[in-house]
């Protein structure tokens, strides 16, 4: 398995593991009724979380080849692998269109 695919899986797992904690910190930060000191501490705690727990660190990659461009979100495959799998009949419900 390619290292890019493994890195993508690791980042996705860390993002999902820290999602609840991040949402709690963000709620505290945006709550205007709380004192500024508590909101500032929440901001510092949010900034101290690991970089890989940020949702923007997740990059759509092809699960077959690890390619980062031309990835179809619904199938998590690059366009070329999607075409190969669809033509060989390995994707249920997908067929070549004709008109």
pLDDT at res. 3: 87
The reported pLDDT for the residue numbered 83 is: 94
What is the span of the domain harbouring residue 77? 62-93
Question: Does residue 38 share a domain with residue 18?
Answer: yes
Same domain, 3 and 51: yes
Q: Are residues 31 and 17 in the same domain?
A: yes
Our CA dihedral for 9, 15, 20, 21, rounded to 10 degrees, sits at 130
* Regions in the chain scoring below 50 on pLDDT: none
């Amino acid at each position: 398995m390619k290292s890019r695919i493994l890195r993508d899986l690791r980042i996705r797992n860390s993002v999902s593991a820290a999602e609840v904690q991040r949402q709690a910190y963000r709620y505290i930060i945006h709550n205007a009724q709380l004192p500024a000191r508590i909101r500032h501490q929440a901001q510092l705690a949010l900034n101290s979380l690991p970089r890989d727990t940020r949702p923007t660190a997740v990059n759509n990659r092809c699960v077959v080849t690890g390619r980062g461009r031309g990835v179809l979100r619904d199938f998590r495959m690059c366009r070329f692998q999607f075409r190969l799998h669809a033509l060989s009949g390995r994707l249920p419900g997908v067929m070549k269109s004709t008109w």
